[in-house]
Structure 1
Amino acid sequence: MVDISAQNISYEMNGLQICGDRWVGERSSDHVSPIVLLHGGGQTRHSWDRSAAALAQRGYDVYSLDLRGHGDSDWAPDKDYAIGAFVGDLVEFVKTLDAAPILVGASLGGITSLCTVGEHPGIATALILVDVVVDVEPAGIDRIKKFMTTHVDGFATLDEVADAVAAYNPERKRTRNLDGLRKNVRQHDDGRWYWHWDPEFIRSDDDEPRRHTDPARLTAAARQVTVPTLIVRGGKSDVVSDAGIASMLKLVPHGEVADVSAAGHMVAGDDNQVFAAAIESFLERHRL
């Protein structure tokens, strides 16, 4: 197996510097459509590292971006983290590509991809949503928000970071490689470690739930999706339920569902091997 390393990339979009990685597959010319991976809220592009490398090994040209306010990308000076801002950034990024991409999004990245595909016909050749539906479970969303807002004051050590992640996701084995956490946190001058995203992204106010998940907008966008669509569901997810999948398939009747039974909401990280296999099978069936 050939070792494929990520290349750092950076673009100016809507006044912000958006950073990411690119993996160039050996046989990328065999695949017309590149793949764009978009992470969830509070994560960074590095949540896709293993998946991106695996897809590049299959010959795909793969891009993984840090969304605005996350990772190495700029924070929005105007604190605009509404769904429209993320969609606007993605639309601008796609314009830099030589061909319409396959969009793969988890959580916030999936919502962004769904809106982009539904509102901009022809912008993508396929859509892969990772534990994303329009009608999500409120309890699961509340648990995510609690996890993110509880730690905005940072951590004293990387061990504390690992403990927090393990407490949120007890199904996943607690990481022993604390250095790997440095991709998602940064040490500030006060010596504490902070998540590598703008706290304004998750500020608590009455409009918070609708800033990122506007049900009416998502519903309208889903009804306009015509490209091949795959919903990869975490079997242990508390965000996506059977009812949520059923209502999503009414909006996108041609959609396909892959169930990663051992995974929770963070599907790619929980069971990357099964996740990657589900995506590759979908791409092969549609000759993408």
Structure 2
Amino acid sequence: MFDSQTIATRHGAIRYSDTGGSGFPVLLIHGSSFSRRVFERQFDSELARRWRLIALDLPGHGESDNAPQPNVTYTVSGFADCLEEFAERLDLKRLAVYGWSLGGHAAIEWMSRSTRIRGLMLSGAPPISRGFIGMLRAFHPSFDLLLTTKHTFTARDAARFSCLSFGAQEPAPFQDLVLRTDGLVRSNFGQSLARGDGADQRRAVEGATIPIALLNGADDPFVRLGYLMGIHIPHQYGDEPTVVIGAGHAPFWERPELFNPALDHFVETVAAETASAWQAHVRRVTARARA
């Protein structure tokens, strides 16, 4: 990873990596029980030379602090608040966001209340309607899915969860990150999502005014791909959700040779639209000043 720093927030100290530079900023948000380390294959790629890549460890994960108020932070709204504060501290006025799994759900909530996000790509995070029924429609019910809300993990649980997340056999990748994670993240966030805290995620995405891209692995063990096809996004990037063959829950890790060009092209589109909108704004302000 590139330069790593720590900033203090109301949700605890946050550790993050930042390539810096003048490229359009792209924030990568990891899923439950992992950390920014999962984006190694993006930081070690042409993406890091074209764009300003930023990845953080959410509270309760990786090298960041456990939240001082877990019942507040480890919720859909709490993580969105943390992301807004993080972006404010880094002075990120306009950015593209990639949200994976839990990170995607937090990003949808953040998008619903912030004007910073100019483009959002999601994997493993189907925009769900409020409540438990909404979750059932979007996810495959299984005993493995219960791991996403389990508080205490054994080493075997951690290995199983990691293999499910990354489509790998033993040895499980990032098992150390799973075991490090504050177990309250899983139990609290699962309850928050089931309660329908925050915005209705499906409505937020279907009413979005920014480009939205849904990119998922064909073999995702958690997400119903058919559900994604029924979501009507006015500014969907592409004609329909993108399905990555040969990938499961984490296409950015399993098929970076396909994922990275897709993210690159998406950010290129977002950056161009943002620049065009800014130029139009400048022209309007200039015209008013001359009137």
- Return the alpha-carbon distance in structure 1 between the equivalents of residues 165 and 68 of structure 2: 32
| Alignment counterpart, residue 36 of structure 2, candidates 45, 57, 62 | 45
Structure 1 residue runs of 5 or longer lacking an equivalent are: 186-194
- Return the alpha-carbon distance in structure 2 between the equivalents of residues 114 and 141 of structure 1: 25
Matched residue, 1:188: none
Does the CA contact (< 8 Å) of 1:103 and 1:113 recur in 2? yes
Structure 2 residue runs of 5 or longer lacking an equivalent are: 129-134, 273-291
What's the % identity of the aligned pairs?
A: 20
Shift of 1:140: 5.3
- Return the alpha-carbon distance in structure 2 between the equivalents of residues 56 and 77 of structure 1: 34
Query: Cα 1:278–1:198, aligned 2, differ >3 Å: closer, same or farther?
Result: same
Shift of 1:286: 4.4
**Are 1:14 and 2:15 an aligned pair?**
no
Give matches, 1:99-178, under 5 Å: 99-120=93-114, 122-135=115-128, 137-139=138-140, 143-146=144-147, 149=150, 152-155=152-155, 164=160, 168=164, 171-175=167-171
Q: CA RMSD in A?
A: 3.0
- Return the alpha-carbon distance in structure 2 between the equivalents of residues 55 and 125 of structure 1: 22
- Return the alpha-carbon distance in structure 2 between the equivalents of residues 282 and 142 of structure 1: 35
Matched residue, 2:244: 260
Structure 1 letter corresponding to 2:202: T
Query: Cα 1:241–1:205, aligned 2, differ >3 Å: closer, same or farther?
Result: closer
Structure 2 letter corresponding to 1:130: S
Matched residue, 1:90: 83
- Return the alpha-carbon distance in structure 2 between the equivalents of residues 241 and 105 of structure 1: 17
Query: Cα 1:181–1:228, aligned 2, differ >3 Å: closer, same or farther?
Result: closer
TM-score (norm 1): 0.77
Does the CA contact (< 8 Å) of 1:10 and 1:17 recur in 2? yes
Structure 1 letter corresponding to 2:139: P
Number of paired residues? 258
Matched residue, 1:66: 57
- Return the alpha-carbon distance in structure 1 between the equivalents of residues 250 and 118 of structure 2: 24
**Are 1:34 and 2:25 an aligned pair?**
yes
- Return the alpha-carbon distance in structure 2 between the equivalents of residues 73 and 266 of structure 1: 22
Structure 2 letter corresponding to 1:21: S
**Are 1:245 and 2:239 an aligned pair?**
no
- Return the alpha-carbon distance in structure 1 between the equivalents of residues 141 and 36 of structure 2: 22
Does the CA contact (< 8 Å) of 1:79 and 1:200 recur in 2? yes
Matched residue, 2:180: 196
TM-score (norm 2): 0.76
Query: Cα 1:202–1:255, aligned 2, differ >3 Å: closer, same or farther?
Result: same
| Alignment counterpart, residue 219 of structure 2, candidates 236, 239, 246 | 236
Structure 1 letter corresponding to 2:250: M
- Return the alpha-carbon distance in structure 1 between the equivalents of residues 166 and 206 of structure 2: 36
Shift of 1:241: 2.6
- Return the alpha-carbon distance in structure 2 between the equivalents of residues 34 and 205 of structure 1: 27
Richer in helix (by share): 2
Does the CA contact (< 8 Å) of 1:134 and 1:215 recur in 2? no
Does the CA contact (< 8 Å) of 1:258 and 1:278 recur in 2? no
Matched residue, 1:190: none
Q: Secondary structure at the match of 2:223?
A: coil
